Chains A and B, each alone.
Chain A
């Protein structure tokens, strides 16, 4: 809401400086988003009459205009506009004038002809955006007068207020003035129009009928005659412009002015175009069509309301926009003026479904004061009469539908103090809300409160408590601190998640945070199943798929950096994905289900550009150790998106926790990455289900240990971990360490064979092992590995 200060001051005598007023507005919840100075200075711009016009001898696009500013002297001005004729009164910026935009007017020669000033357009005076020609003023205007004085314009300050949805009253100058007056203890001067009535009674000229009372609560019309002609006064044009509206014609401008001032939108019909002088309100029939004021033919549905004429033909969309067929034209003499109250929900739905948003629909959907129609129509008639002598026919013609009923309710003083943390008595509470228009009848220590029509947002005690707090001043409430009886602590899962992050960082990886949206095709490019939830209303196709895997995001990050000559990036991410699953709605609202999509899952993933599967496995061990789970088993597996010979699933305690290995080189290539990419992905939901190992210490042996080196030649398909497991099983507790210190492949070993060299450490908890014992263990291990894995001891 753009609010000119001069207008505000008309309704309440506020004298604060701009910055003080800004603070007061903020304290009232009307945040000031901007303050503009308008109409800076008009000094030196005077009225002048056009004496004659003549073509410029040497320029086609300007003409010579000779004007008289009342001193009998004729001044020549070169002018780029051609809309004036001798006798017209125009604004002349005389030599020495500084224009509102800072330009200085000097006498100068234009292609050989002197120009002694400048004739002004409406826009140059800050009155709307009309720059099509010079502003033509009332022929009765005296010459040589300061234009600012004649038009009633001058410097003004405009506050741009952020009006929140719960404050429909603040969408008007009156509403803001009321709030301000209450806060500052100032009187509120509500307009009290006293339009003169004459002619036939309106009820003999028009009739109205509400057919759908749920849609329209009040439909009040008045009839005005002799509405043609006149020009919108400068002060009104300036205020409308400052408020962000465009001056158009007296009837339209007065309608907008009344809406901005009081908050009641009005609509005008050309009486001659309304068949039968009859207006009815009903729901639109599905498919019914209507050309609106903006020249668009719109197809309506049953969610829309319409105003129809005597032939049941729609002439307007209820509360949203009028129809073209009854629009006021230059030849219109008689009009029907409508001031209505529409059901806010209906207007919200209608304007949303038509995607048609107007200043009127904004106010109707937030809620207009149902009592405002007589005042607004009177104000309209009064203002228009001032401008062009329009006459108002006696009588309001009105039909009523269902209006919101507001019963008084109890506001308990104790409750006010309990919620706000204040110590107010009932008189103080009453004194804070009655200036806002609330009725407050004492009821013991409490108040029986009645809500005025302009505060539809207030329907219960808590709404009044908010008003008390707002006008008492939130800054005056004493700050207290409740003591939590809860011992603040992270949960085991939250601590574990932090340790996992720390482990990745300790291993030299940086944390990435790609967007969880994907473009169609991103998953396929990773060799993954293209399934996954779609966003129903994405803004862009690149954000239309919810990721089922962290792979596209992390590979895109690697590719982004590689393209900027930053190779070898090592990134991890701990976040959520939206994997395959059911959508389950928690119908009994128990919150027992902690997921709506069962596949929404937390993961940890890492990519090592320039790293390989070996590094990825080392990283896996670091991370699992930090998470406190183990021991882990790897199962060689061909997994989507991963290198078929260098990937494995990760298992701990029978649960599959994820995958480790390398990205498939073709997937890397599809992302323009020409490095090997180590890859790790863990299902954190599964991991978090594993109990954290609580360490029970095994005593450290005091006796010396013995190392034995054994190299076994085995088939390539035998996993090293299987050989190590056999060594452990065979040696039992006496084997305290198995280190695979060398892997050797050579033609001499035979095709498809490899040598695994282990250093095995033997140690007993209670004695020094004898050479004999170690020898026996060695033999047993060799036998077991040879027989279990088809191995042979390498000599």
Chain B
């Protein structure tokens, strides 16, 4: 006759093996009745415990309990597994091809000019510049005269200007009203405001905005485009500061390996004036805009003493930078609003 403990071990081993093989919740349920139910061998052995010798009863009782717990845990675990499997099979009947949903979302795209505009703003904000703003309809004084371009100045021919028809507007008088040809009048407004409200100098500001030229739209020109203008006015500002600030911007905007250089040029509102170039991977230089030291006459027009304050200004085309960055071959794409163009951004 086998010892009860041997039989018990055998019972548990075989029970566990059968539980592991149970393939459905129903199979687990019937095993539950068979192994742990009223007519199970375990129940019988529990009943037979009363007849066991007192010295072995306690030990056997503990073994019986352990066996029951072991089997019961395994049954519960297997029942959970089988129940989850049943739910999984049920859910598989709801199977969907998720790729069917691709491409249906209505995705909004930012305009490439806005992308570049905001990137520029963020770069300059990071360099400690404020962002200023001014009107697109300007007067001759702000657009030209205050910028050291008096009436009939020969350099005015550099800007083909669109004028506003002011017939019928008495308030205007003799002054020409025009669509600003550059963002430079915002410099003037920024300085005048700062002086008036005693909020500066120091002035560190950029002025992005839309500008106008009397030009026919073609692949490289638009009569309406965007510029960003930078202005710094402080004590002791030098051309070295200008070159260094352009270099800092160049690295921040174009990447750490890109460098910049200044080349002499001419603008009536700055002196000395320069063109800004940035280096290209092939070793050539790409012209990105103009800059220079704010002309003393411009400072005087804004109520600043050029002996006390000096400054620099720079400006470049936002559309042009967008064109370069995104490989836009025809600037007219920027104003046509063709979805096939816009949705690429």
Interface, chain A (partner B; CB < 8 A) = 26-29, 31, 164-167, 344-345, 348-349, 365-366, 418-422, 460, 462-463, 465-466, 469-470, 474-475, 477-491, 494, 498, 501, 504-517, 533-540, 543, 546, 556-557, 560-561, 564, 566, 569-572, 575-576, 578, 582-586, 589-592, 594-597, 600
- Which one, B113, B154, B202, B293, contacts A513 given CB within 8 A? B113
Interface pair A515/B223, CB less than 8 Å apart: yes
Interface pair A474/B202, CB less than 8 Å apart: no
State A576–B209 Cα separation when bound (angstroms). 11
State A474–B273 Cα separation when bound (angstroms). 10
Distance between A598 CB and nearest chain B CB, rounded to angstroms: 10
Which segment of B52-60, B95-103, B258-266 sits at the interface?
Answer: B258-266
Interface pair B337/A560, CB less than 8 Å apart: yes
User: Within 8 Å CB of A582, what residues of B?
Assistant: 169, 171
State A584–B166 Cα separation when bound (angstroms). 11
- Which one, B141, B335, B340, contacts A514 given CB within 8 A? B335
A517 and B336 in contact, given A365-B154, A479-B240, A506-B108 (Cβ under 8 angstroms): no
Interface pair A538/B162, CB less than 8 Å apart: yes
Interface pair A533/B164, CB less than 8 Å apart: yes
Interface pair B216/A419, CB less than 8 Å apart: no
Interface pair B108/A508, CB less than 8 Å apart: yes
User: Within 8 Å CB of A469, what residues of B?
Assistant: 239, 264, 272
B289 adjacent to chain A (CB < 8 Å): no
A536 and B164 in contact, given A167-B266, A586-B139 (Cβ under 8 angstroms): yes
Distance between A576 CB and nearest chain B CB, rounded to angstroms: 6
State A26–B317 Cα separation when bound (angstroms). 21
Interface pair B163/A477, CB less than 8 Å apart: no
A596 and B135 in contact, given A420-B239, A535-B179, A591-B192 (Cβ under 8 angstroms): yes
Known: A470-B272, A596-B177. 11 other contacts (CB 8 A): A31-B263, A366-B154, A466-B273, A474-B243, A479-B240, A479-B243, A488-B126, A504-B108, A539-B214, A591-B196, A600-B135
Interface pair A470/B264, CB less than 8 Å apart: yes
- Which one, B114, B137, B162, contacts A600 given CB within 8 A? B137
User: Within 8 Å CB of B272, what residues of A?
Assistant: 419-420, 465-466, 469-470, 474
Interface pair B265/A164, CB less than 8 Å apart: yes
User: Within 8 Å CB of A345, what residues of B?
Assistant: 152
Interface pair B264/A29, CB less than 8 Å apart: yes
User: Within 8 Å CB of A534, what residues of B?
Assistant: 164-165
A516 and B121 in contact, given A462-B271, A474-B262, A582-B171 (Cβ under 8 angstroms): no
Chain B residue with the shortest CB-CB distance to A557: B337
User: Size band of the B side of the interface?
Assistant: 35 or more
Interface pair B139/A596, CB less than 8 Å apart: yes
User: Within 8 Å CB of B137, what residues of A?
Assistant: 533, 546, 578, 583, 595-597, 600
User: Within 8 Å CB of A596, what residues of B?
Assistant: 135, 137-139, 177
Chain B residue with the shortest CB-CB distance to A576: B136
B29 adjacent to chain A (CB < 8 Å): no
- Which one, B223, B238, B338, contacts A564 given CB within 8 A? B338
Interface pair B128/A512, CB less than 8 Å apart: no
B66 adjacent to chain A (CB < 8 Å): no
**Could you list 18 A-B pairs, sorted by A, with CB under 8 Å?**
A365-B154, A421-B241, A462-B296, A482-B241, A484-B127, A484-B202, A488-B130, A490-B125, A504-B108, A506-B108, A511-B114, A515-B335, A533-B165, A536-B166, A556-B337, A585-B171, A594-B189, A600-B136
Which segment of B20-28, B78-86, B244-252 sits at the interface?
Answer: B244-252
- Which one, A27, A422, A463, A505, contacts B108 given CB within 8 A? A505
Chain B residue with the shortest CB-CB distance to A474: B262
Distance between B238 CB and nearest chain A CB, rounded to angstroms: 3
Distance between A615 CB and nearest chain B CB, rounded to angstroms: 11
Interface pair B244/A479, CB less than 8 Å apart: yes
**A interface footprint on B165-177 (CB within 8 Å = 1, 0 otherwise):** 1100101110101
Interface pair B263/A509, CB less than 8 Å apart: no
B314 adjacent to chain A (CB < 8 Å): no
Interface pair A537/B214, CB less than 8 Å apart: yes
A486 and B135 in contact, given A29-B264, A498-B118 (Cβ under 8 angstroms): no
B105 adjacent to chain A (CB < 8 Å): yes
Residue in A164, A498, A582, A583 with the greatest tally of chain B CB atoms within 10 Å: A583
- Which one, B118, B152, B266, contacts A166 given CB within 8 A? B266
* Chain B contacts with A in 108-132, Cβ cutoff 8 A: 108-111, 113-114, 118, 121, 124-131
User: Within 8 Å CB of B177, what residues of A?
Assistant: 583, 585, 596-597
Distance between B57 CB and nearest chain A CB, rounded to angstroms: 56
Chain B residue with the shortest CB-CB distance to A591: B192
Distance between B155 CB and nearest chain A CB, rounded to angstroms: 5
State A425–B196 Cα separation when bound (angstroms). 38
B4 adjacent to chain A (CB < 8 Å): no
Interface pair A517/B224, CB less than 8 Å apart: yes
User: Within 8 Å CB of A592, what residues of B?
Assistant: 196
State A422–B310 Cα separation when bound (angstroms). 15
Interface pair A591/B163, CB less than 8 Å apart: no
For the complex of A and B, the 3 pairs showing the least CB-CB separation, nearest first, are A421-B240, A484-B128, A508-B106
State A645–B48 Cα separation when bound (angstroms). 90
Interface pair A585/B172, CB less than 8 Å apart: yes
B288 adjacent to chain A (CB < 8 Å): no
Interface pair B196/A484, CB less than 8 Å apart: no
Distance between A489 CB and nearest chain B CB, rounded to angstroms: 6
User: Within 8 Å CB of B320, what residues of A?
Assistant: none
Chain A residue with the shortest CB-CB distance to B240: A421
Chain A residue with the shortest CB-CB distance to B143: A596
User: Within 8 Å CB of A564, what residues of B?
Assistant: 338, 340
- Which one, A348, A474, A509, A512, contacts B274 given CB within 8 A? A474
Interface pair B165/A505, CB less than 8 Å apart: no
- Which one, B130, B146, B152, B240, contacts A589 given CB within 8 A? B146
User: Within 8 Å CB of B136, what residues of A?
Assistant: 576, 578, 600
B144 adjacent to chain A (CB < 8 Å): no
**A interface footprint on B301-337 (CB within 8 Å = 1, 0 otherwise):** 1000000001000000000000000000000001111
State A662–B314 Cα separation when bound (angstroms). 44
State A306–B209 Cα separation when bound (angstroms). 45
Which segment of B30-38, B39-47, B67-75, B229-237 sits at the interface?
Answer: B229-237
User: Within 8 Å CB of A575, what residues of B?
Assistant: 210
State A585–B274 Cα separation when bound (angstroms). 32
State A465–B271 Cα separation when bound (angstroms). 8
User: Within 8 Å CB of A511, what residues of B?
Assistant: 108-111, 114, 342
B89 adjacent to chain A (CB < 8 Å): no
Interface pair A505/B264, CB less than 8 Å apart: no
- Which one, A488, A510, A516, A586, contacts B129 given CB within 8 A? A488
Interface pair B127/A488, CB less than 8 Å apart: yes
B339 adjacent to chain A (CB < 8 Å): yes
State A510–B345 Cα separation when bound (angstroms). 9
- Which one, A419, A533, A597, contacts B239 given CB within 8 A? A419
- Which one, B118, B131, B222, B241, contacts A481 given CB within 8 A? B241
B134 adjacent to chain A (CB < 8 Å): yes
Distance between B177 CB and nearest chain A CB, rounded to angstroms: 6
User: Within 8 Å CB of A348, what residues of B?
Assistant: 152, 154
Distance between A417 CB and nearest chain B CB, rounded to angstroms: 8
User: Within 8 Å CB of B172, what residues of A?
Assistant: 583, 585
Distance between B317 CB and nearest chain A CB, rounded to angstroms: 15
Distance between A169 CB and nearest chain B CB, rounded to angstroms: 13
State A51–B131 Cα separation when bound (angstroms). 81
Interface pair A488/B124, CB less than 8 Å apart: yes
Chain B residue with the shortest CB-CB distance to A483: B128
Interface pair B263/A535, CB less than 8 Å apart: no
Residue in A422, A509, A535, A566 with the greatest tally of chain B CB atoms within 10 Å: A535
User: Within 8 Å CB of B111, what residues of A?
Assistant: 510-513
B343 adjacent to chain A (CB < 8 Å): yes
User: Within 8 Å CB of A462, what residues of B?
Assistant: 271, 293, 295-296
B77 adjacent to chain A (CB < 8 Å): no
State A507–B108 Cα separation when bound (angstroms). 7
User: Within 8 Å CB of B164, what residues of A?
Assistant: 533-536, 546, 583, 597
Distance between B142 CB and nearest chain A CB, rounded to angstroms: 8
State A594–B189 Cα separation when bound (angstroms). 8
